[in-house]
A = this chain, B = another copy of it.
Amino acid sequence: MTTTATSLPDMQHSKDTRGIGLWKVGVKEVEIPLRVRQRDGEVQTVHAITSMGVDCSKLEKGVNMSRFMVQLSEWAGGHVFGLDLKDFLHDMREVLEAESAHCDLRFRYFIQKPAPVTGLVAPMAVTASFSGSLLPVEGGEAEYKLIVGVEIPIANCCPCSKAISDYGAHNQRTFIRAQVHVDTAPDAPKVWIEDLVSELEQAASCPVFPVLKRQDEKWVTERQYDNPKFVEDVIRDATLVLRGVKGVLGFSLEVEALESIHAHNAWAAHRENFA
């Protein structure tokens, strides 16, 4: 005779007596292929690392974790992901019989990038994330909040090194990390990963590229040298950039430079309208 679920004890739904309602309970480091909508309308399949969680009432011992996996697996098959995680979160809340729902989808995302002179195109990966939450509001509809994250590699060339040296200037691979609180009102402008990347690259001494022939490398070298920036300059310029992106309500920024003169990193952090 096959064992059935109904004949097995359901520990998660037993009563808890400690009186502690929990903020988030769920699954983490779940890997899954997700389809993500590109700005150009196409769909990109990404390898997402996800976490999903819901609140746990003080009355319940636990949540039924297999339901997250079933839901995620179904959505991965049937939906294209983007800024519209609201339905996904509502579904999670319902499936888990919870009041609040949280998810975090992180993935490497490919952008087709042309070399600056030859125009040779190849894919380059950036890290992107969608972090959504749905929180109960007393007597009203649940509040949906979405943070879009990107981490992009750039180059910065040191203004001090250039100013004090008779020739040359140290430069290095540097990362800009942005967490952007986006407006999710139905009529708000969409904030695309592609736009965040191309806008934030403006804050660099020079972007980096997947393919560079010699003409390109000359352009990049001179561009870096003509455009020296401290991490402080990069983060200020990134701040100006994000202030100008429509649909952005607030942001947190970090710039970290893998200094080519040190084994440690130069670093700056800044935030505006971001809790």
Contact = CB atoms under 8 A, between A and B. Distances in A.
A136 to B, nearest CB: 17
Interface string A85-126: 000000000000000000000001010000001001111110
Given A123-B33, A212-B262, A168 B157 contact: yes
Interface in A11-41: 11-12, 16, 18, 20, 22-33
In the complex, the count of this chain's copies comes to 4
Contacts of A267: 24-28, 51, 53
B8 A232 contact: no
A30 to B, nearest CB: 4
Contacts of A196: none
Interface string A153-186: 1010111111111111111110000000000000
A51 to B, nearest CB: 7
A2 B218 CA distance: 12
B3 A210 contact: no
Given A123-B73, A161-B221, A212-B261, A23 B61 contact: no
Given A12-B230, A215-B3, A236-B16, A27 B266 contact: yes
Interface residues of A, number: 108
Contacts of A208: 259-263
A271 interface: yes
Contacts of A264: 27-31, 69, 210
A230 B56 CA distance: 12
Interface string A139-165: 000000000000001010111111111
A167 B22 contact: no
A78 interface: no
